[in-house]
Amino acid sequence: MIESLLSIQSINKCFGAARASNNFSLEVGRGELHALIGPNGAGKTTALNQLCGEIMPDSGRIIFDGRLITRMPVYRRAQLGLARSYQITSVFAHLTVGENLSLAIQAHQGHSFRFWKKAVDDPVIREAVLPAMARVDLEGRADVPAANLSHGEKRQLEVGMALAGQPKMLLLDEPYAGMGPGGAVELTKLIQRLKTEVTILLVEHDMGAVFSLADRITVLVYGQAIASGTPDEIRTNPAVREAYLGDEALVSP
């Protein structure tokens, strides 16, 4: 049996009369890529925000790497090894690839952002930037401003920044959003490589990517997990078929 790195236990979150999380539970095994899918409005982003500490659940528990983190602030969760890549890219457009990664490495080393220019020249940080760029296939783009990168390259850079703290779990929030076919292929190759290095929770609408990458999938509908299992189990699950009204993008091999 796979050891759980993340255990979300019956969390609930209401916004007025709307219940965004309804006794939502999720187990993510150490070393697996687990996908969280569901229609728009299913509560996926709310679930991620509660996991990251951006909002707090009304009830329930979240355990990460054996630690109860339900009420823990965002920065403490990051220190424990949770890193998130957002749906909308959040890189510093006016800085180069190398400078963006230097900032991320500096932040995880506990230095002040006021001294980022010194970080670029710091030999320790400079040495760490080279493998960080290689890890996300950007080693040839070190001096290119982020504003001049393609959408796919910006995604790669953002993932590289999230990985700068050597996290135990990487949360990818719809990384394929707005991606063209070429960029999607490169991103899939990157995620396939990263899944051998770090536990990943993937929230994504691209079912082709989900079924090709995920070890296990959880389906969220109206804030509640209606099914969890392998890609083959999810494809043939009657409840999933009903929830998606027979959506062939989801259930076809």
User: What value does the mean pLDDT take over residues 46-62?
Assistant: 96
> For residue range 183-241, what is the model confidence (pLDDT) as tens digits?
889 999 999 999 999 999 999 989 999 999 999 999 999 999 999 999 999 999 998 98
Residue 165 has a pLDDT of 85
pLDDT digits (tens, 9 = 90+) for 109-163: 655 444 445 555 667 787 889 899 999 999 999 999 999 999 899 999 999 999 9
What CATH number does the domain containing 33 carry?
Answer: 3.40.50.300
State which of 116, 142, 166 marks the end of a domain: 166
If you average pLDDT over every residue of the chain, what do you get? 88
The whole domain housing 4 covers 1-81+168-253
Secondary structure (DSSP) of the chain: -PPEEEEEEEEEEEETTEEEEEEEEEEEETT-EEEEE--TTSSHHHHHHHHHTSS--SEEEEEETTEE-TT--HHHHHHHTEEEE-SS----TTSBHHHHHHHHHHHHTT--GGGHHHHHH-HHHHHHHHHHHHHTT-GGGTTSBGGGS-HHHHHHHHHHHHGGG--SEEEEESTTTT--HHHHHHHHHHHHHHTTTSEEEEE-S-HHHHHHH-SEEEEEETTEEEEEE-HHHHHT-HHHHHHTTT-HHHH--
Same domain, 179 and 156: no
Whether residues 179 and 252 share a domain: the answer is yes
